[in-house]
Amino acid sequence: MTTRLTAAVRVGLARGWSGYLWLLKILIPISFATVLLVWSGWLYSLDFLIQPAMGILSLPASAALPLIIGLFTGIYGAVAAMAAMALTLDQMTLIAIFLLISHNIVQESIIQGRSGLNAFAAAGFRIFVSFAVTFAVAGIMDVANPVTLTGSATAVTENPALVPMLRQWGMEMIALCIKIFAIIMTLMVALETMKTFNIIDHTVRIAGPVFRLLGLSQATGMLWLTAAIFGLSYGAAVIVEEAKSNNFSRDELTRLQLSIGINHAMVEDPALFLSLGIAPLWLWMPRLVAAIIAIYLFHLATFVRRINAQRTCHKKLCDHR
């Protein structure tokens, strides 16, 4: 038993290190480019991209600013911006729902692109679902359409000094890299140990009905839990390494990526919005429901394509005869 455990730890550490290096190649350049966008002020001028859609989402034009910040930098910056703005609780709830699905879109889409789903498709899918879910929740909450303001919603602020900002970014990046290293290594060692002693098979079998409800295969269930708990940045690195050593079909990986694209980081990210007084129901339930609906629609689309392909093939055979 000791020999098997030692072997599992060694394999887990090796695969964890490989996944960690792969993730850093994406994380550091994208993060550095983002901090330069923040310093230059260009990030805050991008609100025109989604400002025209604010009325459709029952949000004021000024809401474009936290949405743009969240889309490109993540939840922390968006929460800070929201806390400083004159927004109602309903408006903050809608912004939170949108960003829980589509935050840090560039970095996470590239990560998804390396782990089972085209990066552009991943980004487009998440943004579309964000608009659809936010629009639906606004209707359920009966949020009145605000007066649409003209002009930019961006506040004019002085650019921060570059050197202090880069120094702060460097310290935060070092801390983040250490955190990611600890999480990935722990996860990979744990997964290898669980596989060695057949714990994963038992766990997935017990949770099988839940994964079937989500529209996922049992084989990808453990990877879904990884992304749901730890997020895409940590989870995708594990998924890539697992995909190399498991015979997942393309359909299984696509369904997994669509589901975790909507429903990931279900612990830390929603908790950040709780500080704004947003009801927990809206922070967890809409994403879960949307993920289930999306996967069943994908099943339906796959079934229809298969039927059409069979009919086309049959017609060609008949014409040939």
- Domain assignment present for residue 317? The answer is no
Q: Report if residue 155 sits inside a domain.
A: no
Give the pLDDT confidence score for residue 316 in this predicted structure: 58
Residue 318: inside a domain: no
Rounded to whole angstroms, the Cα distance separating 271 from 2 reads: 39
Give CA separation, 48 vs 27, 73, 150, 152, in Å.
Answer: 26, 17, 11, 7
Structural tokens at position 161: 């000094």
Which residues lie closer than 8 Å to 224 by C-beta, 6 or more apart?
A: 211, 214, 216, 256, 259, 260
Q: How far is it, in rounded angstroms, from Cα 287 to Cα 126?
A: 11
> Which tokens is 102 given?
């589509």
What pLDDT does residue 153 have? Answer: 45
Using only C-alpha atoms, the chain has a radius of gyration, in whole angstroms, of 22
Q: What pLDDT does residue 97 have?
A: 97
Q: Is residue 239 part of a domain?
A: yes
Contact 258, 118 (CB under 8 A): no
Contact 106, 72 (CB under 8 A): yes
Residue 310 is assigned to a structural domain of this protein: no
Given this model, what pLDDT does residue 91 score?
93
Count of structural domains, the chain: 1
* pLDDT, position 159: 63
Low-confidence ranges of the chain (pLDDT < 70): 144-160, 313-321
Instruction: Please name the residues in contact with 165: beta carbons below 8 A apart, sequence gap of 6 or more.
Output: 35, 38, 39
Predicted confidence at residue 92, as pLDDT, reads 94
Q: Percentage helix, strand, coil, to 5, in the chain?
A: 80, 0, 20
Parent domain of 238: 2-150+160-304
In a domain, 195, yes or no: yes
d(CA 17, CA 308): 45
What DSSP element (H or E) covers 62? none
Round to the nearest angstrom and report the end-to-end CA distance of the chain.
64
DSSP secondary structure code for residue 263 in this structure? S
Domain membership flag for residue 309: no
